[in-house]
Amino acid sequence: MTLHWVPATDRIDLLADPVAGAVANLEGVEVAEIDPGLADTAAFCEQYGVTLDESANCVVVAAKRGGETRYAACMVLATMRVDVNGVVRKHLDARKASFAPMADAVELTGMEYGGITPLGLPGEWPILVDAHVAEHARVVIGSGVRRSKLAVSGATLAGLKGAEVLSLTG
């Protein structure tokens, strides 16, 4: 299957509402419609000819300290694993950090599971962008829904409000 990329602002019908609001203020973000049954990274890459190192995943982390839970988004290449209990926990100054439960991630972001993206997240959330993602000229990420994907530069992700670039893989 072939991806047909168009400016994301031309097809806001392919974006979750919070994502549509966020892309209005960004340049160079493109969207392509996909089969929602192929939204998971491995299936998507295989079917659409995108390599895993061109694809980045957004992982929602719940960080806890003193009875308070704070959330953060972590962007890593699909070939890498986020060091949640080491790098992320320490960076967020948390006693405990773990992947956020799916229901919480969906409710808090207003996005579909499997499509969560850093564009349009709640403003108080830190966005931790792995250095490998930040240096990419173009990565494919979620669009907030399972029926499309976004293409964006790593520099755009690194420049998002609340974004910090660091090595997330330990």
- In this predicted model, what pLDDT tens digit does every residue of 69-83 receive, in sequence order? 999 999 999 999 999
Question: What residue ranges do the domains of the chain occupy?
Answer: 6-166
pLDDT of residue 49: 94
Predicted confidence (pLDDT) per residue in 2-36, tens digit: 899 999 999 999 999 999 999 998 999 999 999 99
pLDDT of residue 34: 97
- Give the residue ranges of the chain where pLDDT is below 50: none
Prediction pTM value = 0.94
Cα(35)–Cα(45) distance, integer angstroms: 12
CATH number of 6-166: 3.90.960.10
Cα(117)–Cα(71) distance, integer angstroms: 14
